[in-house]
A and B are shown apart, each in its own frame.
Chain A
C-alpha cells in the first residue's frame, strides 16, 4: 500500500504500540496482560508496519534469520528457566522452591520466574505472528 496518510499515521502510532506491548509483557505479573496478549500487540505493530510500508522494507528490518532465532530463543529461554528448577529444587519449573527472588507482591522485580517466562512467551508470540504474516505475504508476491 503506497499511501502518504497511512505511512505518516503508522509512523506515529507504531512506537506507541511497541512501547505498550513491552509494558504489557513486563507488567504481566502485576496488571492484566501477560506474554500472549503483549506479544500479540507487538506482532500487530510489525504487521501494521508491513502493511503500510512495503513487504520488502519490513523484511529488511526484520529478516527471516532474526525471526527464526527469536522464535527458538523464546522457547529455549522458557525451557532453560525450567531446567534451573531441576538443579536447585527437585522439579521442573519450580518457582519459589527453585530459589527465584519472590520479593514484595506488586514490585516490578518480583514473582520469581514469572516475568522471565512472560518475556519468553511474548518474544515467541510476536515472532510467530510476524513470521506467519511475512511468509504468507512472500507467497503472494511470488505469483
Chain B
C-alpha cells in the first residue's frame, strides 16, 4: 500500500518534471532567453575592457569578481567548519583514552 503510494507520487513527479523539461528552449538555440544584451556585451567588450582572451575568466574575476570573493569565502568557511568539528573530536577522543 505504502509502496504503491510512493510509486504513484514519484511517477506523477516524473511526468511533471519531464513535461517542464519539454517546455525548455533547445540547447544552444539563438532564441534562448540567456542570449540577451548582457551576453552580447560581454562577448563584445571583455577583450578591450578586461584584456583577457578567456571571456569566462574576464567574467568571473572582473565583472563578477565580488561573487568570486564570495565563493572563496564559502571555501574558507567550509574548511573552518570541518577543522573545528574534526579537531575537537580528536581532542575528546584523546581525553577519553586517558581517562
Contacts and interface: CB of A to CB of B under 8 A. Distances in A.
Interface of A: 28-35, 71-72, 74-75, 78-79, 82, 92-93, 95-96, 102-106, 110-114, 117-118, 120-121, 124-125, 128, 131-132, 135-136, 138-139, 142-143
The 7 A-B pairs with the shortest beta carbon distances in the complex, nearest first, are A102-B51, A29-B52, A111-B51, A93-B65, A111-B52, A117-B61, A29-B57
B83 interface: yes
B11 interface: no
Contact of B61 (A30, A74, A114): A114
Contacts of A82: 65, 69
B54 A28 contact: yes
A30 B75 contact: no
B44 to A, nearest CB: 13
Contact of A92 (B66, B68, B78): B66
Interface of B: 47-54, 56-58, 60-62, 65-66, 68-69, 72-73, 75-76, 78-79, 82-83, 86-87, 89-90, 93-94
Contacts of A75: 69, 72-73, 76
Given A34-B60, A92-B66, A136-B86, A105 B53 contact: yes
Interface of B is mostly: helix
Contacts, number: 113
B71 to A, nearest CB: 8
A28 B57 contact: yes
B9 to A, nearest CB: 37
Given A75-B76, A96-B50, A111 B69 contact: no
A95 B57 CA distance: 13
Given A82-B65, A93-B69, A114-B57, A30 B90 contact: no
B82 A135 contact: yes
A31 B94 CA distance: 49
Contact of B72 (A74, A112, A113, A142): A74
A29 B68 contact: no
Given A30-B54, A102-B51, A131 B79 contact: yes
A48 B91 CA distance: 28
30 contacts: A28-B57, A29-B52, A29-B54, A29-B57, A29-B61, A30-B52, A30-B53, A31-B53, A32-B54, A34-B54, A34-B57, A75-B69, A75-B73, A78-B68, A78-B69, A92-B66, A93-B65, A95-B50, A95-B62, A95-B65, A96-B49, A105-B47, A110-B52, A112-B51, A114-B50, A114-B57, A114-B61, A118-B61, A125-B75, A142-B93
